[in-house]
Structure 1
Amino acid sequence: MIDVEERYDWNPRSDEVLDHPLTTFDRMRSRCPVAHSDYMGWSVFRHEDILRVVEDDATFSNQVSRHRSVPNGLDKPEHSPYRALIEPFFSQARMAAFEPLCRDISADLISGVLNRQCVDTVPALAENFALQIQCAFLGWPRNLQEPLRRWSHENHEATLAGDREAMNEIAQRFSRYIHELLESRRKQGAWAPDDITTEIMTSRINDEPIPEADIVSILRNWTVGEIGTIAASIGLLLKYLAEHPELQETLRRAPQTITEAVDEILRIHGPLITNRRRATRPVTLGGRAIATDDRVTVNWVSANRDEAVFPKPDDFRWGRDQHQNLLYGAGLHVCPGAPLARLELGVFLEELLAATGGFSLSPGRSPVNAYYPASGYQHLWLDFS
């Protein structure tokens, strides 16, 4: 785990870290809670330190990329109007209106695995659900789903390899998808679909039209976050429940407890591992001296496994204080889409548990872990009854 170069505290891309991330994060949290590496800059592992970083947005900036990123990579005051634009899309009324379609998508996908054995649920359920649900929510055509799947896989591989040239090409390709989509809406004029994409296109920031580059950035960041985290979440939930049939039965009998169960399962092993920040001034964190412009990487998965906040973190426990759960982040950039994610994951599990008598890991087919920056699984074979 320790880098051979003494100036670094750990190597995030070592086989040990990639193959055993939770064990590594737990060790780092106790041995070196603020650790330096060439790949991530400063990595922060403790819940308390991570809250300090994400709640002090004056000291730890979200402007970490060479390219403009809206709204994820904006700080106050520029961030505020974009956040105000986005938040209403996740209102209670919007969620209620979207729920029937969410159920239809869930039920249709689940019908394809009923009574089947050795189903690789990552492409069949997790990825398909994430792709279909995201396109449906934004009003995007179904023929974009497969290009988005390929784009997501290639983006992950390029990020893991640290291939910035490939990452830039992939980002530009995705931007072209959105530019073409926006242009088709403009040509339709008054006949353009009445959906979220059209609404964002025609919205204004500070009483001015939103620049096209910012519209593309909003939709790109939204889609990247949604597809990756929802697919990973479905895989993590399926694996945990497959290994805990007694919890499956509890949730079948009491579906009203699914929301709490989802938050607790994803606290144990979350779908989003890290986010980046940049120090705007010299600061001491966890006894380490961080310089101006140093990269700071908060590890959400480690924070949610911090024994100081969640005793016996590997145990599923009803009644934990989920307000301490950083599954959806915290501070200025807490995830605005949390209501949508909770709806999607809750509805998917309700439909799955209602339609099946049970599901379990397929004998002889071990799950294949996803590698950072992804979480969850590349392959997860289940038997359904």
Structure 2
Amino acid sequence: MSESRHSDWDPRSESVQADQVDAYDAMRRRCPVAFSDYLQWSLFRHADVMRVLEDHETFSNAASRHLSVPNAMDPPEHTRFRRLIEPYFGPEAMVEFAPTCRAIAEGVVDQLPDDGEVEAMTEMGQGFALEIQCAFMGWPTRLHEPLRAWVKRQQAATLAGDREALGELALEFDGVIRELLASRRDAGDAAPDDVTTRIMNERVEGRALTDEEIVSILRNWTVGELGTISASIGILMRYLAANPELQARLRAERRLLPAAIDEILRLDAPLMSNRRITTCPVEIGGRRLEAGERLTLLWGSANRDEAVFGDPDEVCLDRDPKDNLLYGAGIHVCPGAPLARMELKDFMEALLDATDDIAPLPGCPAVRARYPAGGYSEVPLHIRR
């Protein structure tokens, strides 16, 4: 048995859910490796999270009950699939997609009112995430609205903890992908030369990918991105609205945008956590864990650790980027980071180009998202163009 099975905290309590960032800051100081029935062992400190990320032999990524390529795999299997997918986010692929990315960012921003209210999450974040992800995958625009409705239902089921509904939604999304695969196979040589078709034709260890592997890869590239990109847009727009001095500086010095984006998303995480499972007995943060224990790595806490970042709420534009765990670290560092960075930079540049001012909407504060989501569920703002 593990050293302790009593709950050190309740991640689902109203006090935690009302402001996850504040609650995690407090836990990091009080009980940096904490047990709960809901998340099992939660790691709050940067050093402990880095130890897990750098020791994949002790802390396995194979923590999912379902096939997840390559997210829930360990070497050597992970290595083979990682080698296959990395070129899709390499320099050449990013150069090829850059004009489309910029055009979509400008098109979404053009929908802003000249002088009025906007809800940044639904009107900007979700719309941009849907359009940009479908374009990258080569999916038809007719899927935008069905996917928007699917995301809404998926978020509701997640918040309700409705496992049955989540299972049905997962099958529904997989069905969308399988229909896209079938249409390309029916088209034969006339199938579009896009990311989805290319993945279908990939081989690993000399064999063709199974449909289950293809669906898993495409699901990971879409479902995760729809959530994190939209959350990132909401976080960034809210932060600039609440910090007019930084907003003015970024309007004047666009070269600072990449560093500012990474810093703002460091202190307010769009992706709150990730999972691991122990392969052998281990001690971490003064707690003893046995083999088979489940861990939750809380990015939303580790990236605010005072031992590494000093004042966690300070945006430092010349900070050493190696400490920022926004895209993870180690062998499982997010392969899609170059795409995400380009998408967010293009969106923020288009936003600053098209507006004169982004401000909070008086009397309408932003509403924090609830776990497992990060960021906000509502970000009401006033825009002036």
TM range (shorter): over 0.9
Structure 1 CA distance for aligned equivalents of residues 62 and 201 of structure 2: 26
Q: Map of 1:70-219 to 2, 5 A cutoff?
A: 70-219=69-218
**2: CA distance between counterparts of 1:205 and 1:182?**
18
3-state SS of paired residue (2:370): coil
Which segments of 5 or more consecutive residues in structure 2 lack a partner in the other structure? none
SS at match of 1:82: helix
2: distance between equivalents of 1:222 and 1:165?
23
Secondary structure of 2:155 counterpart: helix
Offset from partner CA, 1:230-276 (integer Å, 9 cap, x none) = 00000000000001111111111111110000011111111011000
> How big is the shift at 1:155?
2.5
Per the TM alignment, residue 310 of structure 1 is displaced from its structure 2 partner at its CA by 0.1
Equivalent residue for 1:27? 26
Partner SS for 2:288:
strand
Q: What is the TM-score when the length of structure 2 is the normalising length?
A: 0.97
Deviation of 1:118 after TM superposition, in Å, equals: 1.5
In the other structure, the counterpart of 1:285 is 284
Query: C-alpha separation between the residues in 1 aligned to 2:199 and 2:6?
Result: 47
Aligned residue number for residue 363 of structure 1: 362
2:184 partner letter: R
1:308 alignment partner, SS class: helix
Equivalent position SS for 2:271:
coil
The alpha carbon displacement at 1:221 in A equals 1.1
In the aligned structure 2, how far is the partner of 1:157 from the partner of 1:228? 13
For 2:329, the equivalent position in structure 1 comes to: 330
**1:6 Cα offset (Å):** 8.4
Matched, 1:268 2:267: yes
Supply the AA of the counterpart residue of 1:326.
L
Supply the AA of the counterpart residue of 1:190.
D
SS at match of 1:383: strand
Structure 1, residues 147-205: CA drift from partner, whole Å, max 9, x if none? 22222233233333333222211111110000001000100110101001000001101
Alignment of 1:241-252 (within 5 A): 241-252=240-251
**Structure 1, unpaired ranges of 5+:** none
- Conservation of the 8 A alpha-carbon contact between 2:256 and 2:317: no
Amino acid of the structure 2 residue aligned with 1:131: L
Which residue does 1:307 correspond to in 2? 306
In structure 2, distance between residues paired with 1:151 and 1:75: 31
CA apart distance, 1:59: 0.7
**Cα distance in 1 for residues equivalent to 2:217 and 2:305:** 32
Indicate if the aligned counterparts of 1:178 and 1:216 stay in contact, CA closer than 8 A: yes
State the TM-score, normalized to the length of structure 1: 0.97
**CA distance in 2 between partners of 1:338 and 1:147 (Å):** 26
**Residue 373 of structure 1 aligns with which residue?**
372
Find the aligned partners of 2:213 and 2:68 in 1 and give their Cα distance. Answer: 8
Q: Which amino acid aligns with 2:57?
A: A
Instruction: Summarize deviations over 1:121-155 as a string: whole Å, max 9, x none.
Output: 21111000000000000000112122222222332
Q: Deviations over 1:85-142 (max 9, x none)?
A: 1100111121122111111111111111141312112111100000000000000011
2:233–2:344 contact (8 Å) kept in structure 1: yes
Partner secondary structure for residue 310 of structure 2 = coil
Matched AA of 2:72: G
TM-fit CA distance, 1:375 = 1.2
Q: Which amino acid aligns with 1:305?
A: R
Amino acid at match of 1:128: G
Match of 1:346 in 2: 345
Name the CA distance, whole Å, in 2 between partners of 1:301 and 1:271: 8
RMSD: 1.3
1:6-21 aligned at under 5 Å gives the runs 7-21=6-20
Give, in angstroms, the shift of residue 23 of structure 1: 1.1
Shift of 1:351: 0.8
Separation (CA, whole Å) in 2 of partners of 1:21 and 1:56: 27
Residues 306-357 of structure 1: CA distance to partner in whole angstroms, max 9, x if unpaired? 0000011111122111210000001121100000010000011111101111
The structure-2 alpha-carbon separation of the partners of 1:306 and 1:275, relative to structure 1 and needing over 3 Å to count, comes to same
Do 2:118 and 2:381's aligned partners in 1 also have CA atoms closer than 8 Å?
Answer: yes
Preserved contact between residue 114 and residue 356 of structure 1 (Cα < 8 Å):
no
CA distance in 1, matches of 2:46, 2:99: 37
Distance in 2 between residues matched to 1:364 and 1:217, nearest whole Å:
43
Give the residue type in structure 2 aligned to 1:204: R
Q: For 1:41 and 1:147, locate their aligned partners in 2 and report how far apart those are by CA, in whole Å.
A: 35
Distance 1:113 1:140 in 2: 25
Query: Does the CA-based 8 Å contact 1:367-1:379 persist in structure 2?
Result: yes
Give SS of 1:319's match. Answer: coil
Counterpart secondary structure, 1:284: strand
CA distance in structure 2 between the partners assigned to 1:74 and 1:259 by the alignment: 30
- Provide the aligned length of Structure 1 versus Structure 2: 381
The one-letter code matched in structure 2 to 1:267 is: R
Among the aligned pairs, what percent are the same residue? 52
1:42 aligned to 2:57? no
**Can you list the C-alpha shifts for 1:27-63, whole angstroms capped at 9, x where unaligned?**
1111100000001110000000000111111111111
Maintained 8 Å contact 1:115/1:383: no
